[in-house]
Structure 1
Amino acid sequence: MANSKYFSDRRENRMNPIDYEDDFGIDVDIEVEFVGRESDLHVLQNAWKNHKIFGIFGLRSVGKSRLVKEFWSRKKTEGFELIHIDMKLISDISSLYANICAALRIEPEIQATDPDRWIHHICEALKTTNGKYFIFFFDNTEDCQEFKGVNTRDSFLSLCTSLVRLCKNVKVFITSTTRVQLAQLKRVYCSHELLPLSQTESRQLLKYVTQGIELGEYEDSIVNLSEGMPLLILMIGSELTDDGGLITPKDMVEFLLTCRLKALSREFYSVEDRVADIYKKFIDRLDAVYKRRLTVLEYIPGSFNAEQAKELLDSKSVATVKDQTLIPIRRRHVLNYDPKTRRFSIQGIIRECVKTYYTIKNIPEIRARYCRIFSAVMQNISVRLGTVEYTQALAAFAVEQPNLQKLLTEVNYTRQDTYQFFIEMATNCTDLIERYMAGDGEDFYQGCLRAADMYGQERDKATVNLAVGSMYTNTKGYLSRGADNYESALRVLENHGRSLQLATVYQRLGWNMLQQARNLDANRYFQKSLAISLVSGEEFKLVSLQSMSSMGLSLSQLGKFDDSERYHFACLKQRLKALGENHPNVGVCYNNIGVMYEQKGDADNAFKYYKKGLEVKVKSKAPIMSVVFSLSNVANMSSSMGNYREAHRLIDDALKRLSEEKIPPRESLACTYETKGKIYLREEKFIEAEEMLQKAVDIREEIAENMLYLESLVHLADANRRSGNFERSISIAKQGLKLKTKATASMPQNTFVAECLVCIADVYDRTNNIERHRETLEKIESELLRLEQVYLCQCNEKGYEKIRTQLKDVKDKLDNAPN
C-alpha cells in the first residue's frame, strides 16, 4: 500500500519540490518548484507599491503560506528582510514579543509588559535601522484571532496597525483561514482570497507529482475529483507513485468516487497528512451553533441563496441568517460565495467531512422544509419553461439541478406533511422531469404512486399515472405501457367533468397513439382535447397548441396534407402571436412543418422550414436536444440533396455543442452519431459510417433496448452489409431480431424487424447460400403479412400501400428463387 514517505521526505530534507501546506517553516535560500498561482501573484505584485499590509485568506491547506513564500522569493532582491512568525506556535502575547525581538536581534525590554509599551519598542527599533526594509509575515493567524483570548487578538491587531502606520520601512503579510478585518487601514490594506487551483494549475501540479506515471484517460477525472486542492493532489500523487504503481490511475478514480475521504486519510499516514483529520479539525474550530447550522445547510447538495438558507434554517429573516450564520461561516472560509449569482456553496471535501462526522438531529423536519423550498423552485422553473422567460428558467435549472435531483429522491421518505409537494410536482413539472431529469423520473413516479396509495385519493393517482404515461411514451419508448397508464388516468378523470387534466390526458394519449401509427385513434383523442381546450381559459392554451401541432403530424401520416397544413399553420400563427418569433416553441412549429413537407415529397419546402426552425432555435437558445434534432434534420436533408460538406458541417456543429455540455443528453448524442453515420453511408464511406453507427448503438444499448436501439442496429447491419463485411452484418441483424417480441408489443407498426431480415436475406443471396436465402424470404413475407394487418387495422393507407408493394416484391423473389 501507499505510505507517507513522500510527505516525510518533503519535510525532512526540504528537497522535494512542492509544499502546499500552511504550516511549513520558510527557508528562502532553497530553490523550489512552484506550480500555478500566477494570477494571485500578479494581484500581489500590482498591490505592492500602494499597499503596506496584505491579508491572504482561504480554506485550510489551499496554499496560502506557500504563495507568500513564492512572492517573497521573487521580491527578496529588493532589499527586504523577512521576519516570519508562525502564529500557531505563539502561546500568548509575551511569546509573540519575544519571537519578534529575537528575529530582529534586539533585546526585549524587561519592563515592557504592557502591549502599547512593547509595540512602541519594536516600532522604534525598526525606525532606527538605516536603509533596511522588513516584511513581517504572520503565518496561520486564525488561532490568534479566535482561540487565544481577546487580549492576544487585540494586541496582535494593534501591532499590525502600528507597524503599518509608524514604520515606513515595513510591510506586513497575514495568512489565515479567518478573514482579518482592518477597516481603519482600508487604503493600504490588500485583502486577497486564495481559491483552489484552476483546472490548468491542478493538471500541472498533478503531472509534476506523478512524473513517470501515464495517467491517460483518467487524468481529467483525477483533476476534477481533486477540486483544485493542493493537499489532495499531493496525497493522490503519493498514492500513485509509492509501492511501484500498486494503485493505478483507474483504481484512484474509483477510490476518489467511492471513498475519497477514507482513501486519502489512511491510518499509516501521520495525523498532519490525513485529509479527514485536517478538515475535521478545521470544521471543529466553528462554534457549536455554527457547526449545527452548517450540518443542516449540507443537506442542500448544490449551491443555495440566502432565502433558501433562511427557509431551511427556519430563521426570522434573510438579514438575520446572513448576519448570524452565513457571514460568520463565510469569513472562516467554510462557505464559498459567488457574488455574481449571490449563491453560497460548501466546498466538496468540507461537505464530505460534514456528512461523515456530523448528523442532523431533527431530520424529518429538515426534509419537510427542503421539500417545501425546492418543490416551489421546481414548479417556478417548470412554469417559466413554457413562456418567454424560458432562457432564464433554463439558467435557473442549471444552477438548481443538484438540489432538484435530490428532491426527486425525497419521495422515498414521504410523510403526510410532504405528500402534497410530490403530487404537485407530478402534476405541474412533467415536461421538466422528462426532458432534464429522466434518470430519476421513473423511481420518482413509482414513489408517487406508492404515496398516492397511502395518502391520496383516486384523482391523485390519476395525476401520477398521467405523468408516468408521459415518461414511458416520450422517454422510455414503452408505448403500450404508456397507453395503459394514460387510460388508467382517463378512467378516473372522465368521471370528474371537463378539466385541464382531462384535456391533457386526451392530448397525450393521442400522441401515444400517433407514435404507434394508430392515426385515427390519435385524431379522435386530439379532437377531444381541442373540444375542451379551445373553449376554455388561458391556462388551456398550451394544451390546445400541442393538440393542433400533433393533429397536423397525424394528418400527414394519413396523407391528408391539405388538412395537415391548415393545423400546422394555425398553430404557428398562435405561437407567433403569443411568444413572438424568437422562441424555441416557434422553432418546433417550423420544424414540424418541415416534417410535413418531407412526407409530402416536397424537398425544397421541407429544407426551407427545417432551416427556419433551426435558425429560430439557435437564435432563441433553445434546449440543446431541440437544437441537435434540428441540426440533424437539416443535415439529413442536405445529404439527401448531395450536399455532403454542408451536412457534415451541421452535424459537427451538433457534436461540438454536445461536447460543451457538462452532461450531454445521451439520446441527442446517439442521434447525432446516427445522422453522421447515415451521411457517410450516402457517400459510401463505409468504415467511417460503421464507426459512427457503432457509437450510436453503444449509447442506445446503455440507455435502453428500445425501438431507437433496434433502429441503430438495423443501420449498423446495413453499413456492414454494404461494405462487404457479411459475417458481422448477419451477427448484428440477428442481435436486432432478438428484440422482435418486445418491439412488436411496444410498436406493432415498426418495420425494423423486417429490415433486419431484408439485410440478412441480401447477404445470403450475395454469398449464394440458397437455402438460407429462401428461409429468410419466407420470414420476411410472414413479417410483412403481420404489418399488412396492423396497418389495415390502424387505417394507415400510406403504410398499407407500401407494405403491399414490398409483399409483391418478396413473392416474386420466392417464385423465382431456386428450390
Structure 2
Amino acid sequence: METFGDDFDVDIEADFIGREADLKKLYIAWGEHRAFGIFGLRSVGKSRLMKEFLTRYKSREDVIVNVDVKPLSNISSLYSHICIKLGIETEATAHESDRWIHHIVKDLVKRSDESFILVFDNTEDYIEFKGTATRDSFLSLCAHVIKRCSNVKIILTSTTRVQFAQLGNAYFSCKVLPLKRSETRRLLRSVTLGTDLGDYEDSIVTLSEGLPLLTLMIGSELTENDGMLTPEDTVECLLTSRLKTLSREFYPKEDRVADVYKDFIDRLAEVYREKLTVLEYIPGTFNVDQVKQLLDAETEAIVKHDTLKPILGRHFLNYDPKTQRFNIQGILRECLQSYYTIKNLPEVRVRYCKIFTAVMMNISKRLGTTQYTEAMAEFTVEHPNLQKLLTDVKHTRQDTYHFFIKIATDCTVLIDQFMAGDGEDFYQGCMRIANMYGKDRDRANVHIAVGSLYTNIKGHLVRGADNYDSAIAVLEKYGKSQQLATAYQRKGWNLHSQGKNLEAVKFLKKAFGLSVSSGKEYQSILLQSLNYLGVTNTVLGRFDEAKKYHFESLKRRKEIQGEDHPFVGACLNNIGIMYYQKGDSHKALKFYEEGLEIKRKSATPMISLVNSLSNTANMYSETGNSKKAHILLDEAMELLNKEKVPSRHATSLIYDTKGKVFRREGAFKFAEDMFQKATDVRKEISEVNIPYLESLVHLANINKRQGNYISCIKVSNKALTIKENAEIAMPQHPFIKECLECLAEVYRKTDDKDNYKKTLEQLESELIRLEKVHLDHGNERDLLKVRTRMHNIKAELEMAP
C-alpha cells in the first residue's frame, strides 16, 4: 500500500503561507466530523490546504488514500484505482455500483483496527461533468463509507459544492477564499527573494487577487531572465494585458492563467455560461433585482433558484451576505471579456441602461435630503456601474435616448461633484444624440448640463455662460419650468464666478422667483439660489442682504435636509466667509467651526471637507492660534494622501494655507517652502489660471519679506506675464495689484528709482482698471478700498524723483 509520503510530495511546492484560520477550523472540526468538503474557486489553494492540514495534524496511525478523480474517466476506473490503493483485489463481477461499493465498504469494515483517510481531489469532475450515474455512484460510495466504516474519514476537494443531506452532522463544509492581502504579500516575497519590489509591491499584491497561481506566475515573471522585467515593467504589463502576460506559450498549459480559467468557465453548463457572460456586462457588484432585470427573468425567486444558486455553488460568483450583493471574480471577468460574447448585446444594453438610470436618479434625488448619507453609501457601491452607464451613451439608439437625456437633466449635481472625469465625454455624447433624436427642449437641457461642466469643473466660464444662454433662449419660449429656473440659477453662479455680481443677482432672483412659490421639485433650486444670493451679496459688500439670504437658506436646509447634512455644513461655512469679509474674525471662526463639525459628521465629499479645514485653519491662524491651524491642515493633508489620486486643486490649497500660517508666525523659510509647493502644483494644473497667479504673488511677497529681492523680482515678473489672461478669466481679482505693490516696495528699498516710478505708474493703471470693474459690478466695498489706494499712489508718484 502507498504511504503518505508517496501521495504528497510537498517539498517541490512553494512554502505554505497563511490560511491559519482555515487550518484551525478544520482542526476543531476534525474530532467532531467524519466527512469534509473543501470547496472554492479554481486554483485558490484547496488541495494545498488539504495537504498542509494532513501534514500537520494526521496521526501516525492514519493511512492516507489519495485519489485524484480528474484522470479517472469512469466509475470502473475509480473502483479499480481505490482497490489498488487499498491493496485489495477487484471482483470481476462488480460492475454495478451497489456491488462494487459493497465490496470496498466490506473490506474497510474488516480492517477496523486500521485508520483510513480517503482523499478525493478534483471531485467536480464526477459531480458535474461525467454524467448523473457517475455522480450518484460516487456520492453513494462516500455516504456508505461514512455510515458504515467508523475507522474512515473522507476529504473532498472541489470547485463545485457537494451536498450530503443524509450525512447530517457528520459532514463539515469549508469554503476556501482567496488569500488575505498580508498573506499574498508574504507569498509574493517568498517567491521573489532578492528582488526589490519597491513602491510596486502593493500594486502587484492587488493584481494577484489573493490567488496563489497568479502570485506564483507573477513571481516567475519578476525573477526569470535575471530580472530583465523590472517591477514597474511587470505592473504595466499586468495592467494592460494580465491574461496574456501570465499565459505565455513557454509556460506549461496547467500554469497558463488564461488556459486554467477558460477551461474552468468552459466546464460550466452552456445555459449558465451564457447568463454569466451577460452578468459580466455589469462591471461592479450587483443585487438580485438587477440580475432579474438584466436577464429578463420572471421573479427574484426564480432567478435565485435557477441562476444565482447554481453559479454561486460552482464558485463563479462571490456573495456578500451583509450587502446582499454578488460579484464576479476579477480574473474570471477578464476571461469572460476575452473569450465570450453576449448573443443579444443590444437588448442587454437597453436593460442595463434602464436599470442603472433608475439607480442613478434615485441616488441623485436623495443627495439634497436627510437621506444623503445613505445615498452616498449606495453611490460608492454603484460607482463602477454608473461609470459604465455614462460611457454607454456612445451606443445610444432611439430606444435608449430618453434615458441619457433624463440623466443629463436630473443628475448634473451628482456627475459634476462625483463623476467629473466621465462628465465631458458623456455630455458630448448627449449633445450628439439630442441633435440626432431630440427636440429643442432636450437640447436645452443638455446645454444646461454642459454649462455646469464648463463652469464648475473646467473653469471655462464664458463657454459655460454661452451654453446657459442657449438653454435660456429656448426654455423662455415655453414659460415657467423647473429647467428654466435651473438655467437662471446656474447662469447666476457663472456670472458671480466671472465677477459680474450685479448681473448675477438679477438671474439668481429670477431663479428664486420661479422657485419660491412652487412645489417640492423646485426645492433644490430654491436652496441653491438663496445660497448664491448670500455669497454674491457678500462679495458686493451688501452684508445685510447677504445675511438675510444666508440665514434663510440655513433655516430651510435644516428643515428639509436635517441638522447634519453636508450642505448645511457648507451653508455655515459660507456664513463664516461673510463675517470674515465683514471684518468679524471671531464670528467667522464660530461658523467655520460649526460647518466643519457637521461636515465631519456627514459623508461630505472629501474636497468639501478639505475646504472647510483650510478656512477654519486660516481663521485660527488669524486669531492667534497657530497650533490648532497646523493640526487641521495636517488632517487635511492626511485625507488627501489617502486618496488614490489626490486632488491637485485641494493639495495646492492646503500648501497655500499652510504658507499663510507660517508667514503669520514669522517662520518665513517654512512659508516659502509651502508657497513654492503650492506654485508647483498649480503650475501643473495650468500656467494661466488665477490660483497659479495667486501662489506666484504669495511667493514673491515672502521672498521680499526675507530680503531675497532678486528672487522676488523674478517671481513677480513671471506673475505679470499672465496679467491679461487673468483679467479675462476673473476681472475683479486683486493679485496683479498685490504683485505690483510688492515690486514697487522692492524697487524703493533697493533705491531703483526708475523701476520704482515705472511700477507705481503700472499700479495706478491697474487700480483704474479695478475701479471700473467694481463700478460695473456694483461692488461698493472694494470700490472704496481701490479709490483710497489710488489716492495714496498719486501722492507717492508726486513725491517720486
Per the TM superposition, whether the score is higher than 0.5 is yes
Q: What is residue 14 of structure 1 aligned with on the other side?
A: none
- Written as runs of structure 1 = structure 2, the 5 A alignment for 1:434-583 is 434-583=416-565
Distance 2:415 2:526 in 1: 21
Distance 2:770 2:672 in 1: 29
Q: What is residue 781 of structure 2 aligned with on the other side?
A: 798
- Written as runs of structure 1 = structure 2, the 5 A alignment for 1:260-275 is 260-275=242-257
CA contact (8 A) 1:479 1:746 kept: yes
TM superposition shift of 1:658 = 3.9
Distance 2:701 2:7 in 1: 69
Residue-by-residue CA offset, 1:315-351 (whole Å, 9 max, x unaligned): 2222222222222222221122111111111111111
CA contact (8 A) 1:61 1:230 kept: yes
CA contact (8 A) 2:586 2:623 kept: no
**Aligned-residue CA RMSD in angstroms?**
2.6
**Is 1:164 aligned to residue 146 of structure 2?**
yes
Distance 1:803 1:584 in 2: 36
TM superposition shift of 1:693 = 4.5
Q: What is residue 403 of structure 2 aligned with on the other side?
A: 421
TM superposition shift of 1:227 = 1.6
Distance 1:621 1:377 in 2: 19
Q: TM-score, normalised by structure 1?
A: 0.91
CA contact (8 A) 2:652 2:681 kept: yes
Distance 2:257 2:716 in 1: 53
**Is 1:399 aligned to residue 381 of structure 2?**
yes
CA contact (8 A) 1:480 1:747 kept: no
- Written as runs of structure 1 = structure 2, the 5 A alignment for 1:609-620 is 609-620=591-602
Q: What is residue 771 of structure 2 aligned with on the other side?
A: 788
SS of aligned partner of 1:174:
strand
CA contact (8 A) 1:477 1:707 kept: no
Q: What is residue 92 of structure 1 aligned with on the other side?
A: 74
Q: Could you tell me which of 17, 29, 54 is aligned with 1:47?
A: 29
Q: Could you tell me which of 626, 632, 640 is aligned with 2:608?
A: 626
SS of aligned partner of 1:654:
helix
Which deviates more from structure 2 when the two are superposed, residues 679-688 or residues 371-380?
679-688
Q: Could you tell me which of 175, 181, 203 is aligned with 1:199?
A: 181
Distance 1:540 1:327 in 2: 45
Distance 2:752 2:19 in 1: 70
Which deviates more from structure 2 when the two are superposed, residues 105-114 or residues 602-611?
105-114
- Written as runs of structure 1 = structure 2, the 5 A alignment for 1:262-341 is 262-341=244-323
CA contact (8 A) 1:479 1:747 kept: no
TM superposition shift of 1:399 = 0.6
Which deviates more from structure 2 when the two are superposed, residues 627-636 or residues 574-583?
574-583
Q: What is residue 188 of structure 1 aligned with on the other side?
A: 170
Distance 1:84 1:455 in 2: 67
SS of aligned partner of 2:398:
coil
TM superposition shift of 1:581 = 1.7
Q: What is residue 415 of structure 2 aligned with on the other side?
A: 433
Distance 2:751 2:217 in 1: 64
CA contact (8 A) 2:376 2:603 kept: no
SS of aligned partner of 2:58:
helix
1:437–1:696 distance in 2 versus 1, CA, 3 Å: farther
CA contact (8 A) 1:465 1:488 kept: yes
**Is 1:383 aligned to residue 365 of structure 2?**
yes
Matched residues, percent identical? 57
Which deviates more from structure 2 when the two are superposed, residues 679-688 or residues 280-289?
679-688
TM superposition shift of 1:682 = 3.0
TM superposition shift of 1:709 = 4.0
Q: Which amino acid aligns with 1:224?
A: T
Distance 1:780 1:606 in 2: 32
CA contact (8 A) 1:517 1:796 kept: no
Q: What is residue 241 of structure 2 aligned with on the other side?
A: 259
Q: What is residue 5 of structure 1 aligned with on the other side?
A: none
Q: TM-score, normalised by structure 2?
A: 0.93
Distance 1:136 1:698 in 2: 68
Residue-by-residue CA offset, 1:731-780 (whole Å, 9 max, x unaligned): 65555555444332222222334445555666666677666666555544
Distance 1:816 1:447 in 2: 62
Q: Could you tell me which of 101, 105, 123 is aligned with 2:87?
A: 105
Q: Which runs of 5+ in 1 are unaligned?
A: 1-23
TM superposition shift of 1:673 = 3.7
Q: Could you tell me which of 633, 645, 654 is aligned with 1:651?
A: 633
Distance 2:125 2:673 in 1: 61
1:288–1:715 distance in 2 versus 1, CA, 3 Å: farther
1:722–1:36 distance in 2 versus 1, CA, 3 Å: farther
TM superposition shift of 1:63 = 1.0
Residue-by-residue CA offset, 1:440-489 (whole Å, 9 max, x unaligned): 11111111111111111111111111111112222222222211111111
TM superposition shift of 1:702 = 5.0
TM superposition shift of 1:782 = 3.7
Q: Could you tell me which of 345, 350, 355 is aligned with 2:327?
A: 345
CA contact (8 A) 1:305 1:344 kept: yes
Q: What is residue 707 of structure 1 aligned with on the other side?
A: 690
SS of aligned partner of 1:89:
coil
Q: What is residue 9 of structure 1 aligned with on the other side?
A: none
Which deviates more from structure 2 when the two are superposed, residues 535-544 or residues 773-782?
773-782
Q: Could you tell me which of 213, 238, 243 is aligned with 1:231?
A: 213
SS of aligned partner of 2:116:
strand
TM superposition shift of 1:75 = 0.4
Q: What is residue 749 of structure 1 aligned with on the other side?
A: 732
Residue-by-residue CA offset, 1:478-517 (whole Å, 9 max, x unaligned): 2222111111111111111111112111111111222222
